[in-house]
Amino acid sequence: MKENNEPDMPENCNAPKPVLHKPNVMSPIWLLPIVAILLGLYLMYQSIAQAGIEFRIHFANANGIVEGKTLIKYQGLVIGKVKKIALDDDLRSVYVTAEVDSKAEPVLRENTQFWLVAPKASIAGISGLDALVTGNYIDVAPGDGEYSIKFNAVQTAPNNLPDDQGLIVRLSTDKLASVRPGSEIFYKKIPVGQVHSFKLDKDTDNILIEAVINHQYSYLVKDNSRFWNASGINAEFGFDGVKIQTESLTAIISGALAFDSPTDGIEVKNNQAYTLYSNISDAERAVQIEFNLSNTNDIKIGNNIYLNGQQVGEVTQVITQSIDPKTQQVTPKAFADVDPDVAELLRAGTQFWVEKAKLSVTETKNVANFVTGNYILFTPGQGELQTTFDLVSNVDDLIPNKQISIAANDANGLAVGNKVYYKNYPIGHISHVTFNTKTNLIDLGVNIYQDYAHLLKRSTRFINISGVSVDANVSGLNIKSAPIAALISGGIELVNDKAFKSKSRHQQYQLYPSLALAKLGSNAFKANKTITLLSKPSHVISNGAPVYYRKLAVGSVADFRLAADNEHIVITLDIFSQYAHLINSNSVFWDVSGIDISGSLSNLKVQTESLLTIATGGINFDNIKPVNDNKVSLAKSKATHYKLFRSFAAATDDRPTVTLTFTSGADINVGTEIKHKGIKVGEISAIKLKVEQGFIEATAKLETDYAKYFVQQGSQYWLESVEVGLDGIKNANTLISGAYINVTKGQGKHVSRFKVLNSAPDIAAENVGLSVTVVSQRLMGLTPGTPVYFRQVEVGSVTYSELSAQSDKVLITLNIEPKYQHLVRNNSRFWAVSGFNVDIGLTGATLKAESLKTILAGGIAFATPDAGNNSNGSGQLAAPFTQFNLAQEVNPDWLKWDPKIEKPTK
């Protein structure tokens, strides 16, 4: 043996020599649990290091706070979350347990404040708007003191000064008005700061206000600046109106302050003290100007001065007896304070005028001034600075103009200040109205503005466009006039036409009542013409009643008497000489007496020519192609008279007529509308009671464009009026609009007489299709609405039934819906399927019926054979109101027909 214990090997042994290895100290598999332990220790450290800090907040209630959802934020960053909510021991409040990030530990100090942020809207503004998106949250205002984990929540966010405080000023006032923390501070209507807080000074009993001017505007506050209250609305009531003053809409809602910045002042530092004045006048920062008045009644103390819609001053004093020291003449004066910012605009050439409220028969202007009071407007001048100006009563007096004179027969609708229009545009105004005793005419002084003086020519004619035309209904008031101002206040229109003849150089302009008369020229102003009318006694006419031509008074009623037949009235008219040429063979006369009211409550039309016609009656005429005979003669008399029609519509109405019969006349009257799908297509023009026949007969006028659709066989008329039943109220709209007649179009031959149903037919208008008639020996219980079947599919219904002319058969009208009417051919067969048939035999009974519905309500069925040989036309589509025999029962062979009928293409 060798020393290393190796066995001795024979010399001749060729076996390999073994190699010995030492085993490893530790297996690599042990690395896994070591890594896991290290990782666990790291996670444990992370969990301990990042664990939040729990603390409690005491709230009055838990409204808006949700466990696990409500966040805690600081400067918009989430630093924690609510974990738990629990009631306090006294059950009157709650404790909220929350957790904040460990990094936020510095906020947990004794004087830290917590409050709940939730959306809140009020007249002063909106807060917490971000909570609408993120939900309610708890905000934090860090404080100082010792570390703490117990806090009491505050109700609202603390009112702390911003980090960038800006310039702090101290204001003192005897009343706060509507100023509050957050009220804005304005400089020249630009917000430059806010009120921070206020308190009551116990020593002086004044209110001390702390305000902050934004840093970028702090240079505006000078040592001689003055602050005044611009809060809300300052209103003063008096006999001259209501004076309303405000700085801005924000100031109206939440209050505001304003201040000035004199150029000779020195910038100030924090906590400078100022007096807060009630308004700009009390602050004595206005520039005083003087007015020479043309009328002391135009303005009062407190009237405002405006420039471009902004108030820049107000009248402070009015002196009615001011003596000019130079001329010794009494000149009324007024003084006003204006904003120093506009003082540079008050130069020579500046023009001031008064905007007044006017409300009268002749003029309506600035009606709002009855509430706000008169005010002054001005246009800046370009000359030297000055403080004394003329104040005129009307802005039109400032416009350069050319004066002319116009003669008028009367002053109807004319007054000083009325406008002169050219193509509905104002180009001048009436300066004076006087009566000329020499000519017995009205002289009008008219100013045509210089810019439009070129429109004046010797052929120019002027028209009086004063007057009122009213169409009133529930939805509003429809007023028609050339310019709307002329309708209310009156006016004159200037017209130039090549057809007009020129007047002589020294001839005065004439005022014509209408354009039609203006075209007549001098002929409009020439012996009266006498004509006679024949009318029924129903017309209310009296001596002196006006006669109109196109709403122009051209004559009057001279006399009226009973005609020789004792049934008519002969009316004598006196037509003014200048209008005599208007009477010719085409003249048509109609009654316009009193007030003509037509329509319904939802579309009320009130028409009258004038107040005079309401009291005395009136007649209108025009020259048109007579639709009806415009002249009549009495029996046994050769004399002819113009016919007096009931209305213009009666005189010219050539619409087609249709006769309608009613069982009762309770809901109908002359003017009751006829509608199709809500559109008016006609109206009732006359109603007669047929006593012997026992019904009401009405004549209806149908609109020409639609009449052909509603005078055909198959048209249906029915009365639509309010119906009250257990299932509710139907046609409630007729309570306002009144009853009306509905109609559906027909498809048959022309018919001029229809019976009006008391209620709507069972078939809706959109389902009205092919009408056919089936002839039966008896009615078999078939009533309107009874279904019509094809292959047991309901394709129509019974609409009407009546006896034949000889009363030996029953004629039953069917309506086949539009989508199925192609199924009815000339060779179709109809049979009754009312009730059911029972076959009884030894093996039992068999019940046969078309359907369960036919057992209860009955019905009619039909079948159509194959077209086959259609040379005789038996397989063609049935025409409207084709007659078919109604079999009492079905022929079994009919049920075997299996035609393939395609719907024809349109």
pLDDT tens-digit readout, 667-694: 888 888 998 888 888 988 888 888 888 8
State how far the alpha carbon of 853 is from the alpha carbons of 370, 627, 767, 856, in Å.
74, 56, 20, 5
- At residue 382, φ and ψ (nearest 5 deg) are -120, 0
List all residues 6 or more positions away from 815 whose beta carbon is below 8 Å from its beta carbon: 763, 767, 768, 769, 770, 771, 788, 796, 797, 798, 799
Element (DSSP H or E) covering residue 822: none
- The predicted pLDDT at position 328 comes to 62
Give the model's confidence band at 573: pLDDT under 50 very low, under 70 low, under 90 confident, else very high. very high
- Residue in the structure block whose two tokens are 């003191």: 145
pLDDT value at position 828?
A: 92
Query: What percent of the residues of the chain are helix, what percent strand, and what percent coil, each to the nearest 5?
Result: 15, 40, 45
pLDDT per residue over 60-81, tens digit each? 888 889 898 899 888 888 889 9
Q: Please, which pLDDT band fits residue 133 given cuts at 50, 70 and 90?
A: confident
* Least-confidence region, from 37-41, 54-58, 872-876: 872-876
> Quick check: 391 and 291 in contact, CB under 8 A?
yes
**pLDDT score of 476:** 42
Residue 362 burial (CB count, 10 A) = 16
Q: Are 546 and 612 in contact (CB under 8 A)?
A: yes
pLDDT of amino acid 472: 40
Q: Which two tokens stand for residue 166?
A: 């800006």
Q: Band the pLDDT of 842: cuts 50, 70, 90.
A: low
Q: What is the mean pLDDT of residues 374-382?
A: 88
874 within 8 A of 816, measured Cβ to Cβ = no
The string of pLDDT tens digits covering residues 226-269 is 998 876 554 444 444 444 555 445 555 567 888 888 888 899 98
| 348: helix, strand or coil | coil
Residue with tokens 């936020």: 104
Residue 143 Rama label (left phi>0; alpha psi -120 to 50; beta): beta
pLDDT given for residue 129 in this prediction: 63
Spell out the domain ranges in the chain: 48-152, 161-284, 286-398, 399-525, 529-652, 657-761, 764-896
CA distances from 215 to 192, 221, 227, 569, 771 (A): 9, 11, 18, 93, 89
In this structure, the dihedral spanned by the alpha carbons of residues 362, 368, 374 and 378, taken in order and rounded to 10 degrees, is -100
Residue-level pLDDT at 200 = 87
- The structure tokens 């017209």 sit at 495
**Stretch 532-549: mean pLDDT:** 83
Strands (E), 260-387: 272-277, 287-293, 304-307, 310-319, 333-338, 351-355, 358-359, 364-365, 375-379
Residues 617-673: tens digit of each pLDDT: 788 999 887 666 788 888 778 888 998 888 887 777 778 889 999 988 888 888 889
Q: At 160, is the secondary structure helix, strand, or coil? A: coil
Residue bearing the bigger pLDDT, 504 or 376: 376
Region 815-841: mean pLDDT is 79
Distance separating alpha carbons of residues 350 and 345, to the nearest angstrom: 8
Instruction: Compute the distance between CA of residue 503 and CA of residue 405 in angstroms, rounded to an integer.
Output: 14
CA pair distance 303, 686, nearest whole angstrom: 62
Range in 188-202, 355-369, 777-791 with the lowest mean pLDDT: 355-369
Residue 11 vs residue 599, higher pLDDT = 11
Give just the sign of the alpha carbon dihedral 814, 817, 823, 825: positive
Check if the beta carbon of residue 172 is closer than 8 Å to that of residue 274: yes
Predicted confidence band at 471 (pLDDT cuts at 50, 70, 90)? very low
β-pair partners for 887: 831
| Highest mean pLDDT out of 192-206, 350-364, 765-779 | 192-206
pTM above 0.75, yes or no: no
pLDDT for the residue 422: 93
Q: What is the pLDDT of residues 397-454, one digit of tens each?
A: 777 888 899 998 888 878 877 889 998 889 998 877 888 888 888 899 898 999 899 9
| Both structure tokens of 76 | 């918009």
Q: What pLDDT score does 706 carry?
A: 84
Query: Cβ(222)–Cβ(268) under 8 Å?
Result: yes
Least confidently predicted of 485-494, 586-595, 848-857:
848-857
pLDDT (0 to 100) of residue 470: 47
